[in-house]
């Protein structure tokens, strides 16, 4: 993983150096083009005055050029120009101008060559510096990569050593585990052998018990078979006796049925006579009940009249109370008293013997007692109107 990271950093550094180098080359090219443009402008400007001066000189020369003298040869009928001192002077001036122009052109060419050489040298120097810087960066990257690789190798070596140590520990642990498992397997094998011996012994005992049980069952089955045979004989004998008894019973039953039929006939006759007598008695009882009813109504009227007379004859201080309940517990009686008082009734607790009685009243007017009793019944309480004198 460390080597991969170093390779990535190296690739990034190479790309950065490549971009820097291309930028430097571009800058050198642009600079060279700019300098070349400046040189061409200088050459045009320097040549322009020369051409201008030449033109002036030519113009002046044309103005100073004297007409050439020519000699005519009649024999050959030809003319031959004679070179004068002025012509020589003019030719010398033109030659000097040409030489000055050539010298100026050589000077400008030398300056241009020098300038181009300076540009080339600058470009070369920049390229060499960029190349040296890139080589230095590559060298640093290589050293970093080598250092990272060395660190990775050391890490891998440490990991391998740790892995070897772990493997050795695992091997020791596996050996110890194998030894422990072998001992455990040995114990389990011994335990299994003991269990198999115990199981075999138990199986043998079970087989013996089963054989004994089978033998006992066979004996019991034999006894049961003998017992069943005896029971069958007894049952056959009993059936024969029962058949005889049934025959005798049937005979007796027939005789008894005959007697019962005769008895039933006599009873039906007696029942008919009894029904007739009962009907007569019922009719007599009905007449008597009607008479008793009439007598009871007359007695009730007389009792009600006596009661009314008794009410009218009561002394002036007689009072009535409404008894609601009676409890052995004084607390329960007082709790009911508070509930009735919450209804707006004058409740009180009176101890009579071992019982605490809850009463409402007393009232002088019986109608008030009846109203209180009705209100108590409406709220779920029992109410019994009682009369007493103070």
pLDDT digits (tens, 9 = 90+) for 206-262: 999 999 999 999 998 999 999 889 989 988 888 888 888 888 888 888 888 888 888
- Residue 317's CB: how many other CB atoms inside 10 A? 8
Confidence grade of residue 334 (pLDDT, cut at 50, 70, 90) = very high
| In the predicted structure, residue 338 carries a pLDDT above the cut 50 | yes
Q: Check residue 185 and give its pLDDT.
A: 92
Confidence grade of residue 342 (pLDDT, cut at 50, 70, 90) = very high
Q: Let me know: does 67 contact 81? Beta carbons within 8 Å.
A: no
Per the model's pLDDT, the better-predicted residue between 153 and 311 turns out to be 153
CATH topology of domain 316-389: Alpha-Beta Plaits (3.30.70)
Distance CA 139, CA 10 (A): 10
Q: Check residue 81 and give its pLDDT.
A: 59
Q: What are phi and psi of 63, to 5 degrees?
A: -70, -30
Distance CA 252, CA 258 (A): 10
Determine the average pLDDT of the residues in 333-353: 91
The DSSP annotation for 217-285 comes to HHHHHHHHHHHHHHHHHHHHHHHHHHHHHHHHHHHHHHHHHHHHHHHHHHHHHHHHHHHHHHHHHHHHH
Per the model's pLDDT, the better-predicted residue between 196 and 308 turns out to be 196
Q: Check residue 265 and give its pLDDT.
A: 85
Can you tell me which residue has the tokens 């009813």? 293
Q: Poorest-confidence range of 67-81, 86-100, 178-192, 276-290? A: 67-81
> What is the sign of the dihedral through the CA atoms of 80, 83, 86 and 89?
positive
Count of all residues that appear for the chain in the document: 390
Confidence grade of residue 75 (pLDDT, cut at 50, 70, 90) = low
On average, the pLDDT of the chain sits at 80
Domains of the chain by residue range: 2-64+83-168, 316-389
Determine the average pLDDT of the residues in 379-384: 90
The per-residue pLDDT for range 102-137, each reduced to its tens digit, is 999 999 999 999 988 998 888 888 888 888 888 898
Per the model's pLDDT, the better-predicted residue between 65 and 250 turns out to be 250
- Winning range, highest mean pLDDT, from 23-27, 46-50, 308-312: 23-27
Q: How far are the Cα atoms of 156, 158, 180, 347 from residue 165, in angstroms, in the given order? A: 14, 10, 22, 102
User: Of all residues in the chain, what percent carry a pLDDT higher than 90?
Assistant: 25
Q: Check residue 190 and give its pLDDT.
A: 93
Q: Check residue 259 and give its pLDDT.
A: 87
Nearest partner of 344 among 319, 384, 371, judged by Cα: 371
pTM across the whole model: 0.23
Nearest partner of 36 among 120, 160, 95, 102, judged by Cα: 120
Contacts of residue 372, defined as CB under 8 A and 6 or more positions apart, other chains included, come to 322, 345, 360, 361, 363, 383
Determine the average pLDDT of the residues in 139-150: 88
| In the predicted structure, residue 303 carries a pLDDT above the cut 70 | no
Distance CA 385, CA 302 (A): 23
Confidence grade of residue 280 (pLDDT, cut at 50, 70, 90) = confident
Q: How far are the Cα atoms of 42, 57, 58, 104 from residue 50, in angstroms, in the given order? A: 13, 10, 12, 9
How is residue 114 written in tokens? 């020098």
| In the predicted structure, residue 55 carries a pLDDT above the cut 50 | no
- Winning range, highest mean pLDDT, from 249-263, 287-301, 307-321: 249-263
Confidence grade of residue 305 (pLDDT, cut at 50, 70, 90) = low
Q: Check residue 2 and give its pLDDT.
A: 58
Contacts of residue 351, defined as CB under 8 A and 6 or more positions apart, other chains included, come to 330, 357
Per the model's pLDDT, the better-predicted residue between 37 and 376 turns out to be 376
């Amino acid at each position: 993983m460390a080597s991969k990271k170093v390779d990535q950093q190296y690739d990034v550094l190479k790309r950065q150096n490549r971009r820097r180098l291309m930028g430097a080359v571009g800058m050198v090219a642009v600079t060279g083009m700019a300098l070349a443009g400046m040189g061409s402008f200088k050459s045009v400007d320097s040549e322009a005055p020369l051409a201008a001066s030449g033109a002036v000189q030519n113009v002046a020369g044309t103005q100073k050029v004297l007409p050439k003298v020519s000699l005519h040869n009649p024999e050959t009928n030809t003319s031959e120009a004679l070179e004068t001192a002025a012509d020589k002077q003019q030719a010398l001036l033109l030659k000097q101008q040409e030489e000055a122009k050539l010298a100026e052109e050589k000077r400008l060419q030398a300056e241009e060559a020098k300038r181009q050489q300076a540009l080339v040298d600058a470009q070369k120097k920049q390229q060499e510096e960029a190349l040296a810087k890139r080589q230095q960066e590559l060298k640093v990257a290589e050293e970093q990569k080598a250092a990272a690789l060395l660190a990775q190798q050391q890490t891998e070596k440490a990991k391998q050593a740790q892995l070897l140590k772990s493997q050795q520990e695992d091997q020791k642990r596996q050996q110890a585990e194998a030894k422990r498992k072998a001992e455990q397997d040995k114990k389990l094998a011994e335990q299994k052998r003991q269990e198999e011996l115990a199981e075999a012994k138990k199986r043998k005992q079970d087989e013996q018990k089963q054989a004994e049980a089978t033998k006992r069952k066979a004996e019991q089955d034999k006894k049961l078979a003998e017992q069943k045979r005896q029971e069958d004989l007894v049952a056959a004998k009993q059936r024969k006796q029962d058949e005889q008894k049934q025959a005798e019973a049937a005979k007796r039953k027939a005789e008894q049925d005959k007697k019962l039929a005769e008895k039933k006939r006599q009873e039906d006759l007696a029942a008919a006579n009894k029904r007739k007598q009962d009907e007569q008695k019922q009719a007599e009882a009905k007449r008597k009940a009607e008479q008793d009813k009439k007598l009871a109504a007359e007695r009730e009227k007389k009792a009600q009249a006596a009661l009314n007379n008794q009410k009218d004859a009561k002394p002036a201080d007689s009072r009535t109370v409404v008894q609601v309940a009676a409890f052995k517990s004084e607390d329960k009686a007082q709790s009911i008293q508070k509930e009735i008082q919450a209804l707006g009734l004058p409740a009180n607790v009176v101890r009579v013997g071992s019982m605490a009685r809850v009463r409402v009243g007393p009232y002088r007017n019986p109608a008030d007692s009846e109203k209180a009793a009705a209100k108590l019944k409406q709220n779920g309480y029992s109410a019994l109107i009682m009369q007493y004198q103070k």
